[in-house]
A and B are shown apart, each in its own frame.
Chain A
Amino acid sequence: MTSDAIVTASSRTTATRPFPNPDLALARFLLAQGDRALVLAQRLGHLVTRAPDMQDDLAIANMAIDLIGQSTLIYAHVGEIDGTGRTADDYAYWRDADQFLNPRLVERPDVDFAHTIVRQFLHDAYAVELWSELTKCAEPDLAAIAQKAVRETQYHLHYSSNWLIRLGAGIKASHARTAAALEALWPDVPGLFSQTTGASLPPELKTTDVRALQQPWAKRVQRVFDAATLSRPPVEAVAQPEPRHLDGFEQLINELQELQRGNPGALW
């Protein structure tokens, strides 16, 4: 069933409400941040009970829940600042796949564990920079969300960095797979910093353009690449090409939304 069909089937629900794109630049930027966290959580959720061992299963599930929590808080905040009063659930469940603003990196499938770790590491290094910057923002709730999120993300980055080093500097096979994953995901790096969705951060920050985070990010990842004996892929990553979402993204979002759209307003 397509998501359109699901929406039509659930008459007399929030699904019939029109969802104009938030027009405020900050709201749109934060919406992209909520989408980033939620989509990565959904990807990680696929690995639960299927990770290489019990500890990694726990780690991956924990990171996914942290990310769901961060997206929930960000979505709720967006609903306040874009003037629509929408809830976190409205944003998560009642937008179609093509309305999601996440960077493409977080949609990448788990081809092998190296892909999972490279995706997580490139993301975590970005998220630490981003949340750290947002902790300085003048809006107390947003700063508080960021302060909590940056501490949680430090644990994620610690985990993904350790694994990247272990795989990269491990045996020939693990090095080759990790290098291949890095090369495959590298073209998605610019998407983290451009987001085609408007890159404005709150004006009171030192860095009001998310592109400025790329330099500290690059420094941070280079240190770990060195320890992992990995080199930066030779390809100069270019601005995110169309399409913005990968094949299979719609299916990922349908899976995320299926229960809520089939049973609108369902609660645990």
Chain B
Amino acid sequence: MNQLDTHVQRVATVSHVAAEVPDPELVVVTLGDLGIVRRTAIIEDVPHVMITPTYSGCPAMAEISRSIIDAVRAAGLGECVVGVELAPPWTTDWITDRGRQRLHAAGIAPPSPAGIPVGLATPPRCPRCGSLLTRPTSRFGEMGFGATLCKANYQCQQCHEIFEYFKPL
């Protein structure tokens, strides 16, 4: 294997390791599933991982950086530098199909496509029974909020399951 191949392979390994780090608040999905890891590089032998924030106020960003640094170190790839990239801004449309399947399997309804005006989007499918007859748990039925910035509380009118919906952003 020549030097370039080795370099490319190392970058790919760093990418893979960073992408497989579980999200600290939503441990059923990885950072790769969420589309948070934007680019990786090895510059002067130091691995660099560029990530992008989800919600502006997401309190997990520091934890995410630490987890990446730990994971890259544990994989024997050395001390990495984690940088933040704001543009282009993250959207829930970047969540991968695998990420959506994993959310669904964990009882969290994956987001519908972003950009539909709040209140006009079709309600999420109940992750338990598949019904589309779901509504926010807020008293007056408006699109609610939830236990983290990225989720809203919903209830299925068919099977009465209360579940979380990953809000489109």
- B58 touching A141 by the CB < 8 A rule? no
- B145 touching A73 by the CB < 8 A rule? no
- A151 touching B57 by the CB < 8 A rule? no
User: In the assembly, what is the distance between CA of A256 and CA of B14, in Å?
Assistant: 40
B53 nearest CB across to chain A (Å)? 8
- A145 touching B56 by the CB < 8 A rule? yes
Q: Knowing A69-B56, A154-B117, A162-B142, say if A148 contacts B89 (CB, 8 Å).
A: yes
B4 nearest CB across to chain A (Å)? 30
Chain B CB within 8 A of A159 CB:
yes
Chain B CB within 8 A of A70 CB:
yes
User: In the assembly, what is the distance between CA of A163 and CA of B167, in Å?
Assistant: 20
Chain A CB within 8 A of B123 CB:
no
Closest Cβ neighbor of A158 among chain B residues: B118
Chain A CB within 8 A of B107 CB:
no
Chain A CB within 8 A of B144 CB:
yes
| A interface footprint on B120-150 (CB within 8 Å = 1, 0 otherwise) | 0000000000000000011110111111010
Closest Cβ neighbor of B115 among chain A residues: A151
For A148, what are the chain B residues with a Cβ–Cβ distance below 8 Å? 53, 55-56, 89-90, 169
Q: Give the dominant DSSP class at A's interface.
A: helix
Chain B CB within 8 A of A166 CB:
yes
- B57 touching A65 by the CB < 8 A rule? yes
| B interface footprint on A65-79 (CB within 8 Å = 1, 0 otherwise) | 111111011000000
For B138, what are the chain A residues with a Cβ–Cβ distance below 8 Å? 55, 59
Chain A CB within 8 A of B119 CB:
yes
User: In the assembly, what is the distance between CA of A69 and CA of B90, in Å?
Assistant: 14
For B145, what are the chain A residues with a Cβ–Cβ distance below 8 Å? 55, 58-59, 61-63, 155, 159
User: In the assembly, what is the distance between CA of A155 and CA of B136, in Å?
Assistant: 13
- A158 touching B59 by the CB < 8 A rule? no
A58-B153, A144-B86 are known; give 10 further A-B pairs, CB within 8 A: A70-B56, A73-B86, A140-B86, A143-B87, A147-B89, A152-B56, A152-B169, A154-B118, A155-B143, A158-B118
A-B residue pairs, 7 tightest by C-beta: A69-B57, A69-B56, A144-B87, A140-B87, A65-B57, A62-B145, A158-B118
Task: Pull 21 A–B residue pairs with CB atoms less than 8 Å apart, ordered by A.
Answer: A55-B138, A58-B153, A59-B144, A62-B146, A66-B57, A69-B55, A69-B56, A70-B57, A140-B86, A140-B87, A141-B86, A144-B86, A145-B86, A148-B53, A148-B90, A148-B169, A151-B114, A151-B169, A155-B143, A155-B167, A159-B143
User: Which residues of chain B have a CB within 8 Å of any CB of chain A?
Assistant: 53, 55-59, 86-91, 114, 117-119, 137-140, 142-147, 149, 153, 167, 169
